[in-house]
Amino acid sequence: QVQLQQWGAGLLKPSETLSLTCAVDGGSFIGYYWSWIRQPPGKGLEWIGEINQSGSTNYNPSLKSRVAISVDTSKNQFSLKVSSVAAADTAVYYCARFKGFGINNWFDPWGQGTLVTVSS
Amino acid sequence: SSELTQDPAVSVALGQTVRITCQGDSLRNYYASWYQQKPGQAPVLVIYGKDNRPSGIPDRFSGSSSGNTASLTITGAQAEDEADYYCTSRVFFGGGTKLTVL
């Protein structure tokens, strides 16, 4: 059974760069897109972006200028960087596996989440 | 349009049936998937595809779709079903529905 384990810094100052990594344990890296999703406190879920094993990426247009997702297939890991963070970037960040084929699509499993707080 | 609309809150009496809906143009072309999120926890997939449940999800959860509307139905709601429920279509999320079990 695939499990995702994520980690990264939880407290940042404005203008710093957010950096998180997600490790994929127990399953193939191939054939999926690997996503980052965030949830501000008390609010809903927002898709940030995704990457596949070849390094092909897609980003949320609202965040694209500040986001970079990378993959290390030798370690079965993928990472998120968000530059120039502000208070509005305070959220729980999740990694998740995305499966989409034809008209079917879903996120499963999810990482445990990392609370990232941006405060001066 | 990528927007998905959900009712912010729904309530159901214990043991009764509740339907949570999700509306959006993209649902005419893609099935919705549904996630349950309890406080302080990561979302959990409960329905995907036409009406599929991952292993471990009780069969009181079911999904359906018609036109631009997808629905999650809980038949015989239990206290432990009280949670936030989100629909997605591709990478777009609905705003979530807070389900209260009375």
Do residues B75 and B60 make contact, with C-beta atoms less than 8 angstroms apart? yes
Question: CA A44 to CA A94: how far, in whole Å?
Answer: 12
Statement: residue B87 has pLDDT above 70: yes
Residues 38-67 of A with CB under 8 A from B: 44-47, 50, 58, 60
Burial of B29 per CB tally in 10 Å (0-12, 13-18, 19+): exposed
Question: CA B96 to CA A49: how far, in whole Å?
Answer: 20
* Partners of residue B96 in chain A, C-beta under 8 Å: 44-45
| Mean pLDDT in residue range B10-33 | 96
Shortest alpha-carbon distance between residue A17 and chain B (Å): 24
Residue among B82, B87, B81 at smallest CA distance from B34: B87
- CA triple A112-A115-A64, angle to 5 deg: 95
Question: CA A53 to CA B25: how far, in whole Å?
Answer: 30
Q: Give the chain B residue nearest A39 (alpha carbons).
A: B42
pLDDT at A27: 85
Low-confidence residues of chain A: pLDDT under 50: none
Statement: residue B20 has pLDDT above 70: yes
Which of B42, B48, B93 has the CB atom closest to A106's CB atom? B48
Residue A46 parent element (H or E): strand A46-51
